[in-house]
Amino acid sequence: MSETTVEFTPAAAPLAEKLLAPALEILDRYPAGRERSALLPLLHLVQTEEGYVSPAGVAFCAEILRINKAQVGAVATFYTMYKRKPTGDYLISVCTNTLCNVLGGQEVYDGLVEHLGVGHDQTTADGAITLEHAECLAACDYAPVVTVNYDYAIDEATPQAAVDLAEQLRRGERPVPSRGSRICSLKEMQFQLAGFADEREGAVADGRAGAPSLRGVSLAQEHGVAVANFTIDTPIPTTKPARDESAKAVKDAVRPSAAPAEPHHESKLASVARKAAGAVKAVVEKVEHRHSGEPVKAGDVKDPEVRAAEARNPDAATPGSGAASAGTRPQSGPVPSNAAEATATGDNAAAGDGKPAGDSERGESIVSDTNAAHRSNEQSTGKDNPGWQNAQRGSEETK
């Protein structure tokens, strides 16, 4: 797609003048005919200019992808990282999900609300900070955590640390977090999310995972917990084994194997795995014994509802015995043995003639009698009752 093939409406033209070149670069990443998949990075690109997905941004994305604006809006309103109203230079997110909440995340969020004077998804008067509580920031090992423009800013946060960070940002400072890359503005972050490299100094951080993230590995090494017979050079298979081979492997795993040639000391993890295999073996033997007279057919992928229907009516082409009498529903299959079910499928009057089940001749006669009574009452009293047509159609006793 080239620049000469795109004609923009007045609504999208202002953004097209600024963003058309990077937008076409994004489209070139996708195969011909699949450019529509570029909608997500294009929405991030729009936010690099305006800080949110504006109506003009929706029109720009729709026109460059040749889709309608409703399709763009459906995506932009689904993901929380696409903002639908102007957002501050710095988006502070506080995790208030389970673990972060237990460790003080809600207190951190409440402290920022009190200090900044704004609530969730609201922006300070100076336009510097937008605050939001997040459901999860994927850093439970550092809980509670605070991010700025989706970069980790504070680990094991406290209310005071969060307030100090907000004040630094409002003064125009960009503090270096203890973990992660240097803090950037929201528009700069949107440029990265659109798939472009950030050329700022310190924009890309490096380093190994921190101690909290490696705690599980450290404990395993400390206590000698390891996967039996595992080596780091073991190749990872790229294809799944066939179904029958997989079933054979499961059976082989739960069957007792030959005793080892020489005794060895197994690790704690291997001991747990061996006990689990024994439990699985017992369950398998119990299930095989129970179903020994009814072997299960391999590869049965029939829908459960279809299987249940066939069980109740083995031959769908052959209705139940006895012709349906007038005013009753035809019966098919065996007669229900359940009393309530038999009552529900008993001699119920069929609707017929495309009418609802209640519109029988008797019902229509009740309505006619009621309407006639209202007309007679009008004639005798000389009063018009324009609402008589909406009167209830008889009492329950009459019906």
- With cut-offs at 50, 70 and 90, classify the pLDDT of residue 289: low
pLDDT of residue 290: 56
* CA–CA dist 282, 23 (Å, integer): 61
202-236 pLDDT, tens per residue? 666 666 678 888 888 888 888 888 887 777 777 77
Question: What percent of the chain is modeled with pLDDT above 90?
Answer: 39
**Overall average pLDDT of the 289-314 stretch:** 61
**Overall average pLDDT of the 228-247 stretch:** 67
Q: Residue 51: name the closest of 191, 166, 160 by CA.
A: 191
> Quick check: 48 pLDDT over 80?
yes
**Overall average pLDDT of the 115-144 stretch:** 92
The residue among 321 and 143 whose pLDDT is bigger is 143
Q: Name the pTM for this structure.
A: 0.55
pLDDT of residue 330: 47
**Overall average pLDDT of the 375-388 stretch:** 59
Tell me whether strands 151-154 and 129-134 are parallel, antiparallel or unpaired: unpaired
> Quick check: 25 pLDDT over 70?
yes
Cα four-point dihedral sign 380, 386, 389, 393: negative
pLDDT of residue 325: 44
- With cut-offs at 50, 70 and 90, classify the pLDDT of residue 183: confident
- Name residue 94's beta-bridge partners: 133, 146
247-268 pLDDT, tens per residue? 455 455 545 554 555 555 566 6
* CA–CA dist 130, 32 (Å, integer): 39
**Overall average pLDDT of the 82-90 stretch:** 93
Cα four-point dihedral sign 121, 123, 127, 129: negative
Cα within 13 Å of Cα(273), Cβ side = 11
363-378 pLDDT, tens per residue? 566 657 766 776 666 6
Domains by residue range for the chain, with CATH: 3-76 (no CATH), 90-193 (3.40.30.10)
The residue among 356 and 176 whose pLDDT is bigger is 176
pLDDT of residue 391: 47
- With cut-offs at 50, 70 and 90, classify the pLDDT of residue 83: very high
324-364 pLDDT, tens per residue? 444 444 444 555 555 655 555 455 544 444 444 445 555 56
**Overall average pLDDT of the 167-176 stretch:** 90
pLDDT of residue 227: 80
Q: Say if residues 23 and 64 touch (Cβ distance below 8 Å).
A: yes
